[in-house]
Amino acid sequence: MRQQPLKPRLQDWPERLAALVEARREAPFAWGSNDCGLFMADAVMAVTGEDPAAALRGYSTEEGAEAVLGEDGLEGTVARALSAIGCGDCPPALAQRGDVALALLGNQPTMTVVLGEVLAGPGPRGLIFLPLARILRAWSV
């Protein structure tokens, strides 16, 4: 069963999410501004108005990102940050547009945003789109 988030979505979330995707469509991956964790956090902010990464922002290198993630790593840090704003796990098969997911990009775990039939996340030359079958874990937003 899909867990309902504690925080409701903003009334205009579809437009806000679409605007974020359009703004980042050709923006290359950049640590601390357009990496997978902050793209996911920006999408959550577009949907809910809350920034799950508010306390994590401020790094600009891969080493800085690793320091922010610490021992919990990407999945643990994201799970804790999303839980803090009322977003809970949902079965990957039930993830819907506006939800977020940990997915495999090649053999690398990465944070993505569910856009309906595909996932989106930052890549070297702009957004990359992955099939939903790549989801490892999902959170309802």
Does any domain span residue 1?
no
The whole-angstrom separation of Cα 9 and Cα 74 is 24
Does any domain span residue 72?
yes
Residues 6+ apart with CB under 8 A from 128: 105, 120, 121, 122
Q: Range of 54's domain? A: 13-139
Q: Say how many domains are in the chain.
A: 1
Q: Give per-residue pLDDT as tens, 6-60.
A: 568 999 999 999 999 999 999 999 999 999 999 999 999 999 999 999 999 999 9
Does any domain span residue 103?
yes
The whole-angstrom separation of Cα 110 and Cα 141 is 17
Q: Which residue has the higher pLDDT, 140 or 6?
A: 140
Q: Whole-angstrom distance between the N-terminal and C-terminal Cα of the chain? A: 14
pTM above 0.85, yes or no: yes
Q: What is the CATH number of the domain that holds 95?
A: 3.90.1720
Does any domain span residue 51?
yes
Does any domain span residue 42?
yes
Does any domain span residue 7?
no
Does any domain span residue 4?
no
The whole-angstrom separation of Cα 95 and Cα 101 is 8
Query: How high does pLDDT run on average in the chain?
Result: 94
